[in-house]
Amino acid sequence: MHILNIIFAGVGLFLFSFAVHILVWRIIRPGKQMLWLTIVFIFLPILGCLAFQVSGVGLSGIGTDWLSSFLILLLTILLSAAYIMSYPPIQAGCPSLKIILSVNDSGPEGMTEAAIHRVFSEDILVSERLEDLVNDGLIFVKNTPSDHDLVSLKNDTLFISRQGYLIARMFASYRKILDLPFGKG
Amino acid sequence: MRPEPSSCFLLTAILSLLIPFAVHLLLVRVFGLFRKTELRQKGVFFSVLAGILPLTVLCIVWAAAAATGDTVGLIVSLLYFFLIYLLAGYVYFHFFNMSETARRVRLLIESSQTGSLNKTDLKNLYPHQDIVSVRIERLTALGELRRSGDRYFLGNRVLLLPAKLIFTLRRLLFPYVDS
C-alpha cells in the first residue's frame, strides 16, 4: 500500500508543521506572520523530506526514492497552502464571517443593516489591514511611526515596497487573464 | 501489478492541479458566465465542481496506462488524485476570493497604481460604509443572509460552521487578541 503510506506521511508532515505553528504563534508571537507561515509550512516540510532523503532513512513502507518524497511533499504543501489561504480570516477576523456570527447570535429577532454596521468600529477595518501590510514589508510609511499604530497616523504617505508591487501585479495580471475588473475589496 | 508511483502518476497529479483554473477560465472568459459581481464566487465554486469531470477522464486515462490488476491500490491512487484535486480547488477558490474581496489586496493594487497613498485619502477611497455594505450584498447573493423587511436573518448556514471554526482557531492562536 505504497500510495496510502504516502498519503499518511503527507498528512502527518502537515500536522507536524501545524503543531509547530501553534507553538511558535503562542510563544514568539511573530511580527512578519506571512514569512513565518512560509517557513513553518513550506520550508520545514521540504527540509524534513530532504533530511530523510539524504540520510537514507526511509519512512516505513515508503522508501527513499525521490518520486515518493515529491508526492509526499506535494500533498503536504497543498494542505499547507489550503491552511495559509484560510489564515488571513483567522488572523484578521474576516468581516463576512463576523457578520454571519453576529446575525446568528441575534437569533429570531435578526439584525438591521445599521446594527450590522455597528459591529465594526469606524477605522479598524482598514487601519488593521494597513498594519499587516507594513508588518509584512509590503508597504512602508514615509515617516516611521513611533508607536507602530497606523490608526494614529493622519497625514503620512504610504509607499508600496518592491515585494508588495510584485504581489499587486500578480493579482492584477490574474484578473486581466480572467478579463474581470478588480474586486471591491 | 501494484500501482507504484511512476512519472505517469506524477504527471496526472500535476495536471489535476491545473483543472480548477482551466475550467474557471473557460467558463468566465470563453463562455462569458459568472461575470456579474454577485455571481463571481459562485462561478469559482461551480468551476471546482465541474472540474471533477475532466479529472475523472484524466484518472481513467491514467488507470488505462497503469494497467494495474490491484483494485485496492487503484482505489487508493484515485483517492490521492481526488484529494490533491480538492485541495487545489480549495486553494484556487481562496486565491480568487483574495483577488475579489481581500482588503489588503485592494490596498496593494491601489498603491501600485499610484505609487503611494495618503492615509487621509484612504477614507474616501475605501469608506467603512462600503466595506460592510458590499459584504452584506455578497452574503445575501450567496444565500447566507436572508432579508425580511428591514432585518437580516441567517440563510442557508453553509458558512456558519467554517465561521465558528475560524474564530476558534483565532482564539487558539491569538489568545491575547479580542476577536
The ipTM value here is 0.82
Cβ burial, residue A145 (10 Å; 0-12/13-18/19+): middle
Answer with the residue of higher pLDDT: A147 or B38: B38
Q: Is B22 on the interface with A (CB under 8 A)?
A: no
Domain identity same for A20 and A80: yes
Structural domain total, chain A: 2
Mutation to test the B interface, candidates A6, A83, A90, most B Cβ within 10 Å: A90
Position A109 in a domain: no
Please give the share of chain B, as a percent, with pLDDT higher than 90: 50
Partners of residue A109 in chain B, C-beta under 8 Å: 151
Q: Which residue, A79, A95, A111, sits at the end of a domain?
A: A95
Position A110 in a domain: no
Position A40 in a domain: yes
**What distances in angstroms separate CA B10 from CA A67, B48, B112, one per listed residue?**
8, 21, 38
Please give the share of chain B, as a percent, with pLDDT higher than 70: 93
Domain identity same for A88 and A7: yes
pTM value is 0.82
Tally A–B CB contacts below 8 A: 254
Nearest chain B residue (CA) to A137: B108
Residue A29 φ/ψ region, left for φ over 0, alpha for ψ in the -120 to 50 degree band, beta for the rest: left
Position A6 in a domain: yes
Q: By three-state DSSP, how is residue B167 classified?
A: helix
Tens-place pLDDT, residues B26-49? 999 999 999 988 889 889 999 999
Domain identity same for A25 and A63: yes
Mutation to test the B interface, candidates A160, A161, A179, A182, most B Cβ within 10 Å: A160
Per-residue confidence band for A123, with pLDDT thresholds at 50, 70 and 90: low
Domain identity same for A85 and A143: no
Range(s) of the domain holding residue A17: 2-95
> Are B94 and A70 inside 8 Å of each other by CB?
no
Position A169 in a domain: yes
Give residue A147's pLDDT: 46
Query: Alpha-carbon distance B167 to B173, whole Å?
Result: 10
Position A134 in a domain: yes
pLDDT at A154 over 60: no
> Are A81 and B91 inside 8 Å of each other by CB?
yes
Position A183 in a domain: no
